[in-house]
Structure 1
Amino acid sequence: MKALVLAGGTGTRLRPITHTSAKQLLPVANKPVLFYGLEAIAGAGIHDVGLVVGDTAAAIEAAVGDGSGFGIRVTYIRQQAPLGLAHAVLVARDFLEDEDFVMYLGDNFIVGGITALVGEFAATRPDAQIMLTRVPDPSEFGVAQLDQSGQVIGLEEKPRQPKSDLALVGVYMFTPAVHEAVRQLKPSWRGELEITEAIQWLIDNGKAVRSTTITGYWKDTGNVTDMLEVNRLVLETIEPRDDGVVERDCEIIGRVVVEPGAQVSGSRIVGPAIIGAGTKVTGSYIGPYTAIGADCLIDDSEIEYSILLRGASVRGVRRIQASLIGHNAEVTPAPRVPQVHRLVLGDHSKVQISS
């Protein structure tokens, strides 16, 4: 069995961060979200992985390499444009050959991995197996409709009027039957080849399509709110560790990881939290569910429930909360000029100002 991991999306909902970074490499608890998926695939005993990449191919190849660090073999497959999940299956045809495969969306996060799901598929071997979960706004996802016996009878991608609240989780399993299905497709109203339409073709042509409704945790980390929530969830599982330098004038409460080369002085850190390698924290408060990346500078500031990427600096700011701060970004107090806000913002930025 092989794996096909999709990492070619542009991350429009995470702009401006993703103007310069691959969304699949944005960190959760200081580890790229893509790495969690690759680890789950290796944990399920799958070692031959095709990684579909697009405009951010160079960054992803630099981060993943040949896959040996994850115990897998990676073949990079170029997708010239993000033209849909089924299009990714088309361009990966030579790599997939005639083997069964799991397709995993590189920006998705599933607690507990996929080992049990892969085992179930291998034991029963339907032509397609999909994972479903109940969501409050199904119009944002592919949606499945089941009959009274629980059989899948219909699927639709991001429907304007959803027929159920069952969303497709970003993990699919297929036999080679799916290749005929994707060859029959035409672009949808979104201009993409939809994997939901390919699975519908399998149903309409008498193929076996099964579903598993999961009750565990799943998130599509395509926006800041979900990134912060997944970060919170992962930080809940960390074990405290101090590999840096924490001065005696600090107060460390709960599960806190201080990575090698980090320096903390005159500060209070309440876990779960992680302080990245080479980061300096002075005279500050770091609150729960905060992941500070490598080589950051935090001085005389308060931060909680946030993610800071490598090289970010925050000085003299009270208080930052529920924020995602990009690589080498600088956050400082505004000059004390009444009724004035001075901003330098990238495209698609979102700012909340108390006036």
Structure 2
Amino acid sequence: MKALVLAGGAGTRLRPITHTSAKQLVPVANKPVLFYGLEAIAEAGITDVGIVVGSTAQEIRRAVGDGSAFGLKVTYLPQEAPLGLAHAVLIARDYLGDDDFVMYLGDNFLIGGITEPVERFRRERPAAQIMLTRVPDPSGFGVAELDTEGRLIGLEEKPDKPKSDLALVGVFLFTSAVHPVVAALAPSERGELEITHAVSGLMDAGHRVEATVTEGYWKDTGSVADMLEANRLVLEEMEPEIAGVVGDSELIGRVTVAPGAVVRRSRIVGPVIIGAGSLVEDSYLGPFTSVAEDCQIIDSELEYSVVLGGAAIRGVRRIEASLIGHEVEVTPAPRTPRAHRLVLGDHSKVQICASS
């Protein structure tokens, strides 16, 4: 059995972060979200992995390498443009051959891994097996309709009026029966080859398709809110470790200070992780905060946020629910004139508290 990991999307909902970084490499608790998926694949006993890459191919290659760090053998499959999930299957045809495979979306975050659904698929071998989860607003996802006995009877891609609250989780299992169906697909109104159409095509051809509703935690980490929520969940399960230098500071709860990090005259209320080479000085870090490597947090307050590598926050009071990009500098504005001075990339979002 093989795995097909999709890492070619542009990540428009995470701009401006994804103008300079692959969305699959944005960290959750200081580890790229893609790595959680690769680890889950390895834990399921799959070692042969094809990674579909697009405009951020070089960055993905640098991060993953040949896959040996994960116990995997990785083959890179270039995709000219993100033309749909089924298009990824189409371009991977030669790599996949006639093997069964699991398709895993590289920006998905799934607690509990995929070992159980993979084992079930290997036992029962339907033509396709999909995973579903209940979401409050399914209109942004592929949506499944089940009958009263839990059998799959229909699929829709991002419908205006969803027939259920069951969204497709970004994990699909297929036999080689999917390939002729994918080859016959026409682009949807969005100009993409939809995986929902491929699964529906299997059903129309009389193949057995199984659906399971997962109760585990799943997030499509395509937005800032989803990234922060996934970060929170991982930090809640984190084991504390103090490997860096901590001086004249108060650490409460689960706090990890990586080797080479320094914490001075600060109050840290976990769960918090501080990456290697970072400096936290005269500051407060509140729960569910991840500070990546080589950052500076000085005379500032930060809570429920993710700070990416090389960022600096100095002299700033109360930042929360924020995603701070690589090499970003956040500092106070001059007292006079009383004006905000901003240098912002495309698609930035800024909220400024008005002072009386």
Structure-1-length-normalised TM-score: 0.99
Hey, what does 1:345 align to over in structure 2?
344
Hey, what does 1:75 align to over in structure 2?
75
Q: Deviations over 1:199-258 (max 9, x none)?
A: 0001111110010001110000000000000000000111111111111x1001111110
- Distance in 2, Cα, partners of 1:165 & 1:189: 23
Secondary structure, in 3 states, of the residue corresponding to 1:81?
coil
Hey, what does 2:311 align to over in structure 1?
312
| 1:153-302 equivalences in 2 (<5 Å) | 153-247=153-247, 249-302=248-301
Give how far 1:337 is off: 3.5
- Distance in 2, Cα, partners of 1:181 & 1:135: 29
Q: Deviations over 1:278-318 (max 9, x none)?
A: 00111000111000000000100000100000000000000
1:324 corresponds to which letter in structure 2? L
- Distance in 2, Cα, partners of 1:96 & 1:29: 33
- Distance in 1, Cα, partners of 2:249 & 2:286: 14
Structure 1 position 131 matched with structure 2 position 131 = yes
Give how far 1:336 is off: 1.6
Secondary structure, in 3 states, of the residue corresponding to 1:197?
helix
Secondary structure, in 3 states, of the residue corresponding to 2:211?
strand
Hey, what does 1:335 align to over in structure 2?
334
Q: Unaligned regions of 5+ residues in structure 1, if any?
A: none
- Distance in 2, Cα, partners of 1:89 & 1:308: 35
Secondary structure, in 3 states, of the residue corresponding to 2:10?
coil
Q: Deviations over 1:3-35 (max 9, x none)?
A: 000000000000000000000000000000000
Hey, what does 1:113 align to over in structure 2?
113
Give how far 1:338 is off: 5.9
- Distance in 2, Cα, partners of 1:293 & 1:80: 32
Hey, what does 1:19 align to over in structure 2?
19
- Distance in 1, Cα, partners of 2:307 & 2:286: 13
Structure-2-length-normalised TM-score: 0.98
| 1:98-109 equivalences in 2 (<5 Å) | 98-109=98-109
- Distance in 2, Cα, partners of 1:106 & 1:304: 27
1:263 corresponds to which letter in structure 2? V
1:273 corresponds to which letter in structure 2? V
- Distance in 2, Cα, partners of 1:149 & 1:294: 50
- Distance in 2, Cα, partners of 1:38 & 1:169: 16
Q: Deviations over 1:159-203 (max 9, x none)?
A: 111111110000000000000110111111111000000000011
Q: Deviations over 1:66-114 (max 9, x none)?
A: 0000001000000010000000000000110000000000000110100
Hey, what does 1:36 align to over in structure 2?
36
- Distance in 2, Cα, partners of 1:196 & 1:181: 11
RMSD: 0.8
Q: Deviations over 1:11-67 (max 9, x none)?
A: 000000000000000000000000000000000000000000000000000000000
1:328 corresponds to which letter in structure 2? E
Moved runs in structure 1, 4+ residues, more than 3 A? none
Aligned residues: 354
Q: Deviations over 1:319-355 (max 9, x none)?
A: 0000000000000011123652222111111111222
Q: Unaligned regions of 5+ residues in structure 2, if any?
A: none
2:72 corresponds to which letter in structure 1? I
Once the two structures are aligned, what percentage of the paired residues are identical?
71
- Distance in 2, Cα, partners of 1:230 & 1:116: 21
